Amino acid sequence: MTELAGRVAVVTGGASGIGLGIAQAFHDAGARIVIADLSLEQAKAAAESLDGLAVQTDVSDASSMQALAEATLAHYGEVDVLVNNAGVGPQAKLADMTLADWHWLLNVNLWGVIHGLDTFLPLISARPEGGHIVNVSSMSAFSPLSPLGGYAVTKAGVTALTEVLALELEQSGSAVHATVVAPGPVRTQIGQSLRNRPAQDVGSLREFNISPPDELWKEPREVGEIVLDAVRANALYAITHPQLWPRVAARNAGIAAAFGQQ
């Protein structure tokens, strides 16, 4: 069991949406919070509400992640938990995506997680009591849909990375654990992701505008509580919408059939 009381938790993309919901849940469980976000103004507002530290961070930049770690250690002297949450989610058909689209999506959604792992895993592993790595993926990794193919590619990478990380940590006897979060529809600002894309970086991506049924939507704080429970249980998967299983089961049935299992 990973307890949060007194631990230092860094949350990327923590100024709003799922990141803020996780930060709030961890804070209420007794954790000391670092809000890392591309928007320093929003990060400061979120951190102030949680009596935490705000650090402007671009997860696609390895040096920015290193600066985040240094700021965390300078302020708290330690770090126990990393939540790789920052991500973008615009949409486009694969045939319409430019290389610039692919580079931007991969740099934020996948390289951002890799940068976090590269920077923070050694620091957390050095803690005698261990700690936790939380990577926020998506239901799209389990059941990809058009026109979210590019997004699904990045989240499938995050999921595979976390599954292998958890296995390697267990095999090495590490006191560090890993959880991958697979959110379904959550009320966040992911529909305005393009606001953070460099103005000169023109491509074919458009804002996310898929509209699931109203009853499927969850609030970020609800997701935060689900993640908190998963971390406490050292669970590999944190599923926010178990009612979406039939969609995943249908995909898995096709895979099983291809293996001659049906």
Q: Which residue has the higher pLDDT, 1 or 97?
A: 97
Q: How far apart are the two ends of the chain, measured CA to CA in Å? A: 38
CA 200 to chain centre: 26
* Structure token digits, residue 241: 């919408």
* Structure token digits, residue 8: 């230092």
pLDDT in tens, 144-187: 999 999 999 999 999 999 999 999 999 999 999 999 999 998 98
- Beta-bridged to residue 186, according to DSSP, are 218
Average confidence score pLDDT of the chain: 94
**pTM for the structure as a whole:** 0.94
Q: At what angle do helices 220-232 and 17-28 cross, to 10 degrees?
A: 50
pLDDT of residue 1: 64
- Beta-bridged to residue 131, according to DSSP, are 176
pLDDT in tens, 202-243: 677 877 777 778 899 999 999 999 999 999 999 999 999 999
Instruction: Answer yes or no: 151 catalytic.
Output: yes
- Alpha helices per DSSP H over 16-148: 17-28, 40-49, 62-76, 99-105, 111-125
pLDDT in tens, 9-58: 999 999 999 999 999 999 999 999 999 999 999 999 999 999 999 999 99
On whether the CB atoms of residues 195 and 174 are closer than 8 A, the answer is no
Banded model confidence at residue 194, pLDDT cuts 50, 70, 90 = low
Banded model confidence at residue 260, pLDDT cuts 50, 70, 90 = very high
**98 phi and psi, to 5 degrees?**
-90, 165
Full set of structural domains in the chain with CATH: 8-258 (3.40.50.720)
pLDDT of residue 201: 65
Q: What mean pLDDT do residues 77-100 have? A: 94
pLDDT in tens, 243-257: 999 999 999 999 999
pLDDT of residue 144: 94
Q: Which of 151, 165, 203, 220 is catalytic?
A: 151
